[in-house]
Chain A
């Protein structure tokens, strides 16, 4: 991906850029708001990562300006402010995701991937498929190897999210946010238990395990190649 990182703290910026580059992305960096806005308007990026507190021009204003200029590049907001209202604010001005510092790098990576995938034209699919696992969104039926799998509503939504982001790392926080709309950390491995339940329904007894645990990051639904 082509990424723009607008972050004024030198250490954080260095850490981010290094990590992202190591993951194979092309990264541009701007150290203040004005420079960041300039970069964002000048070039095309897949995702822009912007810190809220910036010298010259703050993060939210940058987003507002981009949206007003009809620039719909997905934006991920980084912030030390994590209260309910702060998050809502960040999304209201046009941000697409909001990550509170400090965060695990894997969390950032997973979310960037999710944002990038989303912008790849969100044609609403009625059918999703990973290897031999099929999900029909209209009839709400899940099948694997032709056999119908009985899922509870929440399990269905969990699988739906995983399938939408098939092949990408999905973190526990992302799952909590998308499937439950919870923006706090329950501090127990509650999601893990849900995942293992789901696994026992869609993976146990089938040819290959599709729902994989990515250590230190989260989960990923994909066929083993």
Chain B
């Protein structure tokens, strides 16, 4: 509705402009004609004197059919000499000689009041010449134009209204489809999608975007269902064990046999659970994290060296060899040192854990085409190709490893950190064993802390 009124207003202004311009033009033309006549008459006067002038005027006035000319020649005492006006109009003129006055009785017998415009021309010896035009025809034209333009305005408004209604109806129908589908989805059917017209117009783009969002929601919900199942399963066991310990303690305390060992075990179980929950929470937070303002330029060689130093004794205990290779030029990675360290630590932990005694583990940092590459490789049991996507799932443990210590969250955390740092991660076969390759974009910012 408001668009229609805006449109109508614009058209009105446009038409008003046209009208004013046209009528102004017509008025100017009239004045120009009058001036031209005055000029030609004054030339006649110059060549043929007063007589010639009177002749000219008489000639023009008696022409049939009568035009809209107004001509009047008076003597200094305002007595009419010749012309088609009774007398000199009783109106003051403008300083440059223009007069606007009313014609008392039209010579054309239609009884209407006509306005006239004329210019006064002073002849030598005080004679006055009045040359002008009956503006009636002009007025009629102007009225006709105004009428036409007004009708145009009305038609334009009506067309705008009809057009608007037609378009709106089309839009409303599209919106209706979207709304309808949305309520069906909300009332439970997550598999529905919004139909599109395949015209790729704005509505289709909107529908496509909404459909993609729905796809994502469906995936997430699937994920949540799966994770809840895993969580339930994997946390129930330690919880059950904890309960058993406490049960035992209960009995033992009845017999005054409460064993420090049992209490320790119970506490350990509880700590294990807490650690798992903390890890879960950490992963969830990192995944949900959008803020990376606190990131600084971290020297990546050091991150790897520190982590390797932490784990080296563990590798040694297992008779494993840990090789560390740093990049020649220490690359700076934009990120959080703590998180990056945890990432490397998790990978090293896995490498040591899943490699038998006497095995080899290699960790290296290298720079290639503006990326910092972290490679952790071992000659352990590796990850079968089929399970390489699955290992990122929370609590996922390879069948062969179910009995070894660990909560199955290490790689989930690694992936969350990789994504937060805009890096990319791949598994490769080390034949035997696994090679983890992560590449980080290098930052050229000046080092922070």
B275 touches A187 (CB 8 A): yes
Residues 72-113 of A, flagged 1 when their CB comes within 8 A of B and 0 if not, give 000000000011110010000000000000101000000000
Interface residues on B, range: 20 to 34
Question: Residue A193 contacts which of B271, B309, B314 (CB distance < 8 angstroms)?
Answer: B314
Check B339–A84 contact: CB distance below 8 A. yes
Contacts of A216 in B (CB 8 A): 264, 267
Q: Are A186 and B349 in contact (CB under 8 A)?
A: yes
Contact A180 B338 (CB under 8 A): no
From DSSP, what is the main secondary structure of chain A's interface residues?
A: loop
The verdict on A182 contacting B341 (CB below 8 Å), with A188-B314, A188-B349, A190-B310 known, is yes
- In the complex, what residues of B have CB within 8 A of residue A84's CB? 294, 336, 338-339
B residues 270-286 in Cβ contact with A at 8 Å: 271, 274-275, 278-279, 282, 285
**Quick one: which of B376-408 are within 8 Å of A by CB?**
406-407
B317 in contact (CB, < 8 A)? yes
Known: A184-B338, A188-B314, A193-B313. Contact between A82 and B349, CB under 8 A?
no
- For residue B271, which residues in chain A have a CB less than 8 angstroms away from its CB? 104
Interface residues of B in 281-327 (CB under 8 A from A): 282, 285, 291, 294, 306, 309-311, 313-314, 317
Q: Is A183 an interface residue (CB 8 A)?
A: yes
CB of B275 within 8 A of CB of A183, answer no
The chain B residue with its CB closest to the CB of A184 is B342
Nearest neighbor of A185 in chain B, beta-carbon distance? B275
Whether A183 contacts B338 by the Cβ 8 Å rule is yes
Q: Which residues of A contact B282 (CB under 8 A)?
A: 82-83, 184
Residues in chain B near residue A118, CB distance under 8 A: none
As a 0/1 sequence over residues 142 to 164 of chain A, the CB contacts with chain B under 8 angstroms (1 = contact) are: 00000000000010000000000
Q: 1/0 per residue B322-358: CB within 8 Å of A? A: 0000000000000011110110010001000000000
Known A-B contacts A187-B275, A188-B349; the reply to A88 vs B264 at CB < 8 A is no
Contact A154:B309 (CB < 8 A) given known A82-B278, A84-B294:
yes
List residues of chain B with CB within 8 A of the CB of A197.
313
By the criterion CB–CB under 8 Å, are B338 and A186 in contact?
no
A180 to B314, CA, bound (A): 16
How many A residues are at the interface, by size bracket?
A: 20 to 34
In the complex, the answer to whether A190 meets B274 with C-beta atoms within 8 Å is: no
**Inter-chain contact B310/A186, CB cutoff 8 Å:** yes
B310 and A180 contacting across the interface, CB-CB below 8 Å: yes
Shortest CB-to-CB span from A90 to chain B, Å, is: 14
Across-interface contacts of B345 in A (CB, < 8 A): 182, 184, 186
Write the nearest CB–CB distance from B316 to chain A, whole angstroms.
8
The answer to whether A85 and B309 touch across the interface, beta carbons within 8 angstroms, is no
A88 to B339, CA, bound (A): 14
Find residues 189-225 in chain A having any chain B CB closer than 8 Å to their own CB: 190, 193-194, 197, 215-216
Whether B317 pairs with A83 at a CB distance below 8 angstroms is no
Contacts of A104 in B (CB 8 A): 271
Q: A161 vs B306: C-alpha distance in the bound complex, in angstroms?
A: 17
A47 to B406, CA, bound (A): 37
| B311 touching A190, Cβ below 8 Å | yes
Give Cα A114 to B309, complex, Å. Answer: 25
Closest to A81 in B: B285
> Nearest-CB distance from B312 to chain A (Å)?
9
- Report Cα–Cα, A218/B349, bound state, in Å: 22
Question: Contact between B310 and A102 (Cβ–Cβ < 8 Å)?
Answer: no
Q: In the complex the two chains form, what is the Cα distance from A193 to B313 in whole Å?
A: 6
Q: How far is the CA of A193 from the CA of B316 in the complex (A)?
A: 10
From B306, B310, B406, residue with most partner A Cβ within 10 Å: B310
Residues of B within 8 A of A180 (CB): 306, 310, 341
Q: Check A85 against B338 for contact (C-beta < 8 Å).
A: no
CB distance from A107 to the nearest CB of B (A): 11
Given A185-B278, A190-B310, 18 further pairs, Cβ under 8 A: A83-B285, A84-B336, A84-B339, A85-B294, A88-B294, A104-B271, A180-B341, A182-B310, A182-B338, A184-B338, A187-B279, A187-B406, A188-B349, A190-B311, A190-B313, A190-B314, A197-B313, A216-B267
Binding site for A on B (CB under 8 A): 264, 267, 271, 274-275, 278-279, 282, 285, 291, 294, 306, 309-311, 313-314, 317, 336-339, 341-342, 345, 349, 406-407
25 pairs from A and B in contact (CB 8 Å cutoff)? A83-B282, A84-B338, A84-B339, A85-B294, A102-B274, A104-B271, A154-B309, A180-B310, A180-B341, A181-B337, A182-B310, A182-B338, A182-B342, A182-B345, A183-B338, A184-B338, A184-B341, A184-B345, A186-B310, A187-B407, A188-B314, A188-B349, A190-B313, A193-B313, A193-B314
